[in-house]
Structure 1
């Protein structure tokens, strides 16, 4: 099933993005982009969540900009206004909770990839109405989640050969979550590179790991977004 470009509004703030609806009301899930922008791959993740019964919304954090150039993607990521993004995500959480397609589901899930993975952690620490957080190899040097405030369980998906989110970085994240007594489950896939879930990038895509990771995501959301 295919969604559409639209906007969600709450707290007097309208946030553009891509909305994909399930056939029957289901919990809301926010899908956060990689540093490329709101590209077709991220829209396809929202569609897959809708097929699984979730009301999925991918906010356009770059306000219409996207790229296939790593240099340009890096510039867009570093230019992102984190405070403004936090306000947008807060509005999206509220808008999804109030959406007709999420009736009876007070908690929202969040999933992010690369830059979006770190933002997912950040948003989960800032919004108690987020009930489940999935971080796919999250990284952003200017985003520092306040893990003391985290109430949602975390599913962390990582790549063994990731040059950006190294095993040392994963260990440091695990140590922070342990420090505050948080609930999490991490999985590192052997032989995989950063962005192994992105099926539009054949140079890094790993179908077996991506399939297993998606199965974990669906089981995680089912357990924590009743």
Structure 2
């Protein structure tokens, strides 16, 4: 079994994947570097949904690819950007999009690492993965988020004033930043995203954020959470951080050993309620 509990990936000793196991995981479409052999991933059916890849103009020579899941039929819907972990757009991220679409949302998952041309879900080497991730600097990612919200506002199936964002691990920190730099974002839900870099920027937040964290997270400590709560209070913010004492990093990821069913069952409805309460409905 692979054990991935660190905030932005694993250490080399966490990767012990045989060729046979890796081939099976890749065939299933999940990230090879984090899949647990004992996992029983949730699979959300796509009936009643439209799922497709699209491209989003972002000023780059090649536009930004994005996976989209949305309710079929006519009408407009609120939209949630889904920001991936370091492993790129793989089957679990697509399933999260389908879950949101089943709840009545348009879910858009941009492939922020596409410029590298590397198939990240197929990689098991941490150094190779992080080399690609580190190429995507904050300014570039923030710009891609802005391009995505601009694109959403032009779509006939989306409510232009009802855009939220959620993200996991690496993507959790993107959520905090997006709530600072993108005025089209009405609410964010950050799942176990690193806090140190954003703690000093709480005064820049323009949209409310709900943070969901694991008390057993080895990379994001309870001290980090306490510092963020203090910074939010000092900035006059009412953003909320929920800590699940028995949960590790990555507790929503049902394809990983860190999956915590109880924490996930409590946290997912909180995401939906937070979006509704803040106009993403």
Task: Report how far residue 19 of structure 1 moved.
Answer: 0.7
Matched, 1:14 2:75: no
* Superposition TM-score, scaled by structure 1 size: 0.90
Q: Distance in 2 between matches of 1:54 and 1:144?
A: 30
SS of the residue corresponding to residue 85 of structure 2 reads coil
Q: Distance in 2 between matches of 1:46 and 1:212?
A: 18
Task: Report how far residue 141 of structure 1 moved.
Answer: 7.0
Any conservation in 2 of the 1:10–1:94 contact (CA below 8 Å)?
no
SS of the residue corresponding to residue 100 of structure 1 reads coil
* Superposition TM-score, scaled by structure 2 size: 0.73
Q: Once the two structures are superposed, what CA deviation does each residue of 1:44-65 show, in whole Å capped at 9, x if it has no partner?
A: 1111111111111001011053
| Aligned counterpart, 1:48 | 99
Q: Please tell me whether Structure 1 or Structure 2 has the larger radius of gyration of its CA atoms.
A: 2
Matched, 1:170 2:219: no
Q: Once the two structures are superposed, what CA deviation does each residue of 1:83-116 show, in whole Å capped at 9, x if it has no partner?
A: 111111110011112211113x413100010000
After TM superposition, what 4+ stretches of structure 1 lie above 6 angstroms from structure 2? 140-145
Task: Report how far residue 5 of structure 1 moved.
Answer: 1.8
SS of the residue corresponding to residue 77 of structure 2 reads coil
Matched, 1:60 2:115: no
Q: Distance in 2 between matches of 1:70 and 1:186?
A: 29
SS of the residue corresponding to residue 48 of structure 1 reads helix
| Aligned counterpart, 1:215 | 269
| Aligned counterpart, 2:244 | 189
Matched, 1:111 2:166: yes
CA RMSD of aligned residues (A): 2.2
**Equivalent residue for 2:147, pick from 91, 102, 121:** 91
SS of the residue corresponding to residue 242 of structure 2 reads strand
Change (3 A) 1:222 1:151: same
Report which structure shows greater RCO (CA 8 Å, sep ≥6). Answer: 2
SS of the residue corresponding to residue 130 of structure 1 reads coil
User: Gaps spanning 5+ residues in structure 1: where?
Assistant: none
Any conservation in 1 of the 2:232–2:238 contact (CA below 8 Å)?
yes
| Aligned counterpart, 1:205 | 259
Any conservation in 1 of the 2:195–2:224 contact (CA below 8 Å)?
no
Change (3 A) 1:17 1:142: farther
Q: Distance in 1 between matches of 2:221 and 2:162?
A: 31
Matched, 1:156 2:188: no
Q: Distance in 1 between matches of 2:52 and 2:262?
A: 29
Aligned length: 224
